[in-house]
Structure 1
Amino acid sequence: MHLARESWTDADAADTTLAVLPVGSTEQHGPHDPLGTDVLTAEAVAEAGADRYTDPVVVAPAIPVGIAEEHRRFSGTLWTSESTFRDYVRDVVGSLAAHGWDRVVVVNGHGGNIAALKEVTARIVRHDDAYAVPFTWFDEVGEHTSDMGHAGPLETSMLRNTDPETVHDDRLEAAAADGADGWGEWQGRVNLAVDSDEFTDNGVVGDPRESSADLGEELLDRSSEALCDLFDAVRDRDPTSRTD
């Protein structure tokens, strides 16, 4: 059940404690993928997981702006501070819990949100009347995870499967030519780069020419299956239990 598409009376009748909150970012994804890539992919995984799960799951509207200042040099990118982002996520989870949907999986589509989501979900579990965990979809696609990049084959494939009209296929060659092979500029284990424009001319990391709708279908299937497994664990977990 997607809250934004239902009436309050339908929401009131929802017999579940499970909810999913997609979070993403509005940021550059090269010349070929849309600024909303991280939102679209997080929503697609959240909705696919909710649809295939055996019990009802409430799907909250996505949070579209995340921690993305590293892309500030590219037009259209929006960002917020880590503290504002954490507070917003916590407030939304608290709102869901107030209606009885107090087991919340936060489905994330943006790498820059990962650390903040780990911190805020732990704070929710420790201090609020809810149990929340983060789930980053591209960490749950098996051997493909190592190919993540940025606007590379994974994200572009996911979009070519779920939102093909948003991908500019005629720009893939240029995207690959002016992109970077890896994220950052490294000295040993230290990344010297702060912003993405320091190491990629067009914002791309990886080769989006390796993308396909078939790969996107596989990515969606793997990540939504992993999400369903997580729903099982979250539904059955007692967050008040402690081991000695």
Structure 2
Amino acid sequence: MDIAEMNWIQVEERAAKDDRCILPIGSVEQHAYLSLCTDMILAQKISIDAAAPLGIPVFPVMPYGLASSFAAYPGTMTLKLSTYIGVIGDLLDSMYRSGFRRILVVNGHGGNTPATAVISEWLNEHPDARVKMHDWWRAPLTWKKVMDTDPAASHASWMENFPWTRLADVAQPAESKPRIDFARLARVDAATKREMLGEGNYHGLFQRPDADMQAIWDVAVAETRALLEADWD
């Protein structure tokens, strides 16, 4: 349930009966010809779709993350690590004060991995709480479905090209992009990364049929929902 459709009284009542909630986290950064908000769009939608039949509240997506690698691309928004650590901790504190004790963090951006360290420290201070960190796109079943569909899958490639991340009237290239040099990419600054990447796709096709994408999405939704229903201890 989208928490935008709830008031504080309903949240209090819900947490008293069921202390599960979801916090999606994403990023605003270059995604080649796709929306700059791809990571936040996907994290929010996967959370809403997974929680819908369970009535579990889904908080608004945390839109900004750690995207310094793409800082040379206009429109990319990135937080400093110190800022990010504080924001994630503050959001966990707020959900805890609201009565939630089982929190699923649905992550849509690989750069947000440091959140796991924040969660670990936070749990030491809140031993009665449970937090699951879920990188939805690389969860085992979802990633297997991606690889079975096309192993040339990467940032800003076809694997992030869904009808809801695509931009109207923006054509997608038909060719498959060669794999970039990941080792070099990891050791250079943002401006050099832009020179290496060009439009931003790491490698692979820019788009696949919508039927392929819906099949992947169905697996991802089911895998995310299973985490909500599984044991939290």
Instruction: Give deviations 1:185-240, integer Å, cap 9, x for gaps.
Output: 44xxx94334331421111122344423222212221112111221133xx333xx
Which 5+ residue runs of structure 2 have no aligned equivalent?
none
TM-score (norm 2): 0.85
- Residues 16 and 211 (structure 1), Cα distance of their counterparts in 2 relative to 1, 3 Å cut: same
- Residues 147 and 90 (structure 1), Cα distance of their counterparts in 2 relative to 1, 3 Å cut: farther
Which 5+ residue runs of structure 1 have no aligned equivalent?
239-244
Q: In the alignment, which residue of structure 1 is the partner of 2:137? A: 138
TM-score (norm 1): 0.82
State the one-letter code of the partner of 2:22: V
Q: In the alignment, which residue of structure 2 is the partner of 1:2? A: 2
2-structure distance, mates of 1:220, 1:84: 32
* Deviation, structure 1 residue 104: 0.6
2-structure distance, mates of 1:40, 1:118: 21
Q: In the alignment, which residue of structure 2 is the partner of 1:237? A: 232
Q: In the alignment, which residue of structure 1 is the partner of 2:210? A: 213
Identity of aligned residues (%): 23
> What does 1:1-244 align with in structure 2 at a 5 Å threshold?
1-14=1-14, 15-30=17-32, 32-52=33-53, 55-114=54-113, 116-128=114-126, 130-140=129-139, 141-143=142-144, 144=146, 147-156=152-161, 159-160=162-163, 163=164, 166-168=166-168, 170-173=170-173, 181-182=179-180, 184-186=182-184, 191-195=186-190, 196-233=193-230, 236-238=231-233
The CA RMSD measured in Å over matched residues stands at 2.3
* Deviation, structure 1 residue 46: 0.6
- Residues 202 and 218 (structure 1), Cα distance of their counterparts in 2 relative to 1, 3 Å cut: same
Q: In the alignment, which residue of structure 2 is the partner of 1:241? A: none
2-structure distance, mates of 1:223, 1:183: 29
1-structure distance, mates of 2:180, 2:188: 12
Q: Secondary structure at the match of 1:199?
A: helix
- Residues 169 and 138 (structure 1), Cα distance of their counterparts in 2 relative to 1, 3 Å cut: farther
* Deviation, structure 1 residue 74: 0.6
Give the conservation status (yes or no) of the 8 Å contact 1:18–1:56.
no
